[in-house]
Amino acid sequence: MTAAPTHADDATSASNGRAMAPALATADKVSARRDELAAAALRTLAERGYANTSLREIAQNSEFSHGVLHYYFADKTELITHCVTLYKRRCVRRYDDVGSGASGPDDLVERFLAALLVTMHEDAHEQRLWYDLRVQSLVDSSFRGEVAEIDTALRTMVWRILLRYAELAQRALLVDADTAYALFDGVFSHAVQRHLAGADDVDAALRQQVRRLMPRLLDGMQGTAP
């Protein structure tokens, strides 16, 4: 039979709670500071690329000293993974309303395209950094955990949009989540590459590719969507 808590137990719990509060507050401050530093470093990393940037060069192009960066991040690897993780979380949120706000399948396609074009034009260098990091993870295991986590978030985002598209079209999807993500990632990464290279028909090509691809992922029989 379990004994009822005593006043002493209550006092001990309260004391432990008070002791933990400063530690939690400090952890929150450290986390916020790391996010602040990563946000400031992201542009330099995105413009210069992973291989061409050191912590010292990042510090020279931001308001923070090399010592501050090194205090909060053990090395460039830790900083770059934090930068890309923060960016991708923000990027994924851009697509939150693509499906929920769509009035029909064609409207969803256009809303999806609009979000893709904003990402390509406003975040091209950040996207390049992401692809750079993903390739680097093939040979450097220190990146693999974060890359896998980001890939999972992106795959989930694409799949959520496609499920809504199939629901609006009242048809079933012909692909699984992994295949769908591979298809759209390939189309989009190619568009980003051409955009960074200065091609002048990238927007039109991306629109055409996505408008053609989306219906082909559905079966031809009207019925209940998955």
Q: Sketch the domain layout of the chain as residue ranges.
A: 27-88, 94-226
Q: How many CB atoms lie within 10 A of CB 141?
A: 8
Determine phi and psi for 6, rounding to 5 degrees.
-100, 170
Q: Which residue has the higher pLDDT, 22 or 65?
A: 65
* pLDDT value of residue 68: 85
Q: How confident is the model at residue 49 (pLDDT cuts 50, 70, 90)?
A: confident
Place of tokens 């034009």: 121
Contact 206, 191 (CB under 8 A): yes
Instruction: Return all residues near 44 (Cβ < 8 A) that are at least 6 apart.
Output: 53, 57, 58, 61, 62
* pLDDT value of residue 219: 92
Instruction: Return all residues near 57 (Cβ < 8 A) that are at least 6 apart.
Output: 44, 48
CATH topology of 27-88 equal to that of 94-226? no
pLDDT in tens, 121-160: 999 988 988 998 899 899 988 889 999 999 999 999 999 9
pLDDT in tens, 69-92: 888 888 888 888 888 888 898 899
Contact 169, 106 (CB under 8 A): no
Q: Quick one: how far is CA 212 from the chain centroid?
A: 25
- Three-class SS state of 73: coil
Q: How many CB atoms lie within 10 A of CB 75?
A: 12
* pLDDT value of residue 182: 97
* pLDDT value of residue 16: 54
DSSP per-residue codes, 106-127: HHHHHHHHHHHHHHHHHSHHHH
What is the second-level CATH architecture of the domain 27-88? Orthogonal Bundle (1.10)
User: H helices then E strands: how many in the chain?
Assistant: 10, 0
Q: Can you tell me the mean pLDDT for 13-17? A: 51
Q: Which of 183, 174, 182, 181 is CA-nearest to residue 160? A: 181
Give the fold, CATH level 3, of 94-226: Tetracycline Repressor; domain 2 (1.10.357)
